[in-house]
Amino acid sequence: MSQLPPPDFATLVTPVPEDAVTGSRLDDWWATHRTNPLWRRLFNWGAPALVVITAAFTRLWNLGQPSSLVFDETFYVKDAWTLWNLGYEGSWPAEADTMFNAGNVDVFHSTASFIVHPPLGKWIIALGMAAFGPENPVGWRISTAIVGILAVILIMLIAKKLFSSTLLAVIAGGLFAVDGNAIVMSRVALLDNHLMLLLLLGFGAVLMDRGHSARQLDRWVARRTVAGRSLDWGPSLWGRPWLIAAGVAFGLASAVKWSGLYFLAGFAIYTLVVDAVARRRAGITFWGTGTLLRQAPVTFVLAVPVALAAYLATWTGWFLNSASYGRQYANQLGNAWEGPFAWVPHVLQSFWHFQVMVYQYHVGEMRPHPYQANPLTWLFMVRPTSMYWLSSNRGENGCTAEMCGSSITGLANPLIWFAATAAVLYLTYRLARYREWKVGLVLMGVAAGYLPWLMYLYRTVFQFYTIAFEPYMILALTLTIGLILGNARDPWWRRERGIGLVAVLLGFVILLSVFFWPLWTGIQIDYNWMRAHWWFQSWR
């Protein structure tokens, strides 16, 4: 039995030809309205604008509440403020959180503090504090919120480029705009949202590189056909500006958290594989050896040095300030390197020693935490992170019930999260069967963000780390939704059923986001109503 080819993603949700007779009222309506310039402008611009407005509201509304440092804001907000003032992370006295919450923000010491993450994310947080004031909780969080809004815009641009569909772009952006994990991580001043945006920029650059390299290969094949040559290494691989851009983006992501390195490595491998496959299909004889002997070194040269330069540039404050933590290590007696590396400047020796210390901390961090979540459970959202909790009895803090609670919990919209997990599993099967490069690209984003954590099952980690790869889970779900919606070649009844199913799914997504809204924004509610949101004991 012959196997039908898989759908072409470029034709997802495309309009029905004007002369088509489908028997579907929906298709007939679309055929009538798709040529109306006013309607098309309204949808092409109005729908994305509505998504951006939704993202802005969910991330900016009442951003200053709670007015105290929550969860790991105690580290990153204060580190950001000392970075802004000293150029490096300074230390703080005991009870610093209480003083900081009260507006006494300049009680830090000039003595450097040992920190375990690179400085870029904290510099971005510091920009908001400089603009709105360090005494203002909005100042602590505004940069993170803006990053969250930009991520929604970026995921729509990527989805538009990837799927050639405004509708799917709006769906992707809309899902990200109303998801709880994305909302919470945009409303607290942690580093992970900044990591997510920079990784998404790198992903977008890789996507642009795919189109650029495909056009290069097509032009080379055309020239080879005219010249009549059959044996060649293929087109030059140096003209890849988007690989350089990806290297910069992933390097900056690594300057927020080191997990950005996994994306740099993962997408370098992805680029090698898909280029090798494209060369083979183009009939290039030396496609295998060409990939290993030519493309791999070129890809390394284009991406890795700029990634390293971008990473090092974010440490400028550390290099320029002699009081930075560990800055004088190699100058102390007995610490400088000897032998063949003795020529390395002491400042670089000290920097390397500092990086080794940070690495040792990360791999050895196993102190128990009540909200730690084993990476094996992340895709099933077993243990979301509670970042803030305040209980009140009747008459306290405006509570009118017997008992009230206020919570900020890094809990994704359950329908979005579980549907996206199912979509990832389905697309893994689809990739094995059809070898679609776009499916592979999306799944590589999930793999680069998730699989490396399986090497650290006993390390103290948290569910909110998933924000780094959530955009690719959203894209996986959007891609699957596009397959459900079908295209113009499908029978009208199949399209109507697909549209109905997707409409029901999106409707329930919105209802669940409204339902969980108090747990994402710290709104005080009746404790019994709060308990209704804890679907599992581990969600408490």
Q: For position 3, what pLDDT does the model report?
A: 38
pLDDT mean by block of 10 residues, the chain; 540 residues: 39 39 52 70 91 98 95 96 96 94 94 96 97 95 98 98 95 98 98 98 96 82 66 68 96 97 95 84 66 80 96 97 96 93 96 96 91 96 96 93 95 98 97 91 97 93 97 98 86 85 96 98 95 94
- Helix/strand/coil percent split, the chain, to 5: 65, 5, 30
pLDDT at 213: 85
Burial class of 132 by CB neighbour count within 10 A (0 to 12, 13 to 18, 19+)? middle
CA of residue 149 relative to chain centroid, distance = 12
Is the Cβ–Cβ distance between 74 and 97 less than 8 Å?
yes
Q: Which pLDDT score, from 0 to 100, does residue 1 have?
A: 35
Question: Helix crossing, 437-450 with 192-227: angle to 10°?
Answer: 150
Alpha carbons within 13 A on the beta-carbon side of 510: 9
How many alpha carbons fall within 13 Å on the CB side of residue 44? 11
If phi > 0 it is left, if psi is from -120 to 50 it is alpha, else beta; for residue 302 that is alpha
Structure tokens at 235: 């087109």
Note the pLDDT of residue 216: 81
Q: Which pLDDT does position 226 carry in this prediction?
A: 65
Residue 13 corresponds to which tokens in the numbers above?
Answer: 């949700």
Both structure tokens of 364: 């050895």
Residue 292 · residue 300 · CB < 8 Å: no
Compute the distance between CA of residue 220 and CA of residue 224 in angstroms, rounded to an integer. Answer: 6
